[in-house]
Amino acid sequence: MAKALFYTVMAVFLAGSIWWATWVWSSLDGELSTDGNIALTLGIVLSIVVGVGLMWLLFHSARRGYDDQVEYELPGNKDA
């Protein structure tokens, strides 16, 4: 039940933010050219791809143990 409530609230927030962004965008008087739309779309898509890729690397590194602490002695350092 808690999961369904959480997902419902998140969906409402997402829908509200999309509605607000659309309202703000349409209330502006300026026009965006075709080249501007292409640049905006590519910027958004590439930003999402980079973010997803970096998060994947973070989880991959943590799961494989690459982030574990490494302990070793330096050669010639004898503490007796």
- Chain segment 22-50, per-residue pLDDT in tens: 999 888 888 889 999 999 999 999 999 99
d(CA 71, CA 80): 17
Question: Looking at residues 51-73, what average pLDDT do you find?
Answer: 86
- pTM higher than the cut 0.75: no
pLDDT above 60: residue 80: no
**Alpha-carbon Rg for the chain in angstroms:** 24
Q: Considering the chain, what percentage of its residues have pLDDT values greater than 70?
A: 95
Which residue carries 């890729």 as its tokens? 53
Residues 6+ apart with CB under 8 A from 40: 32
Q: What is the pLDDT of residue 72?
A: 74
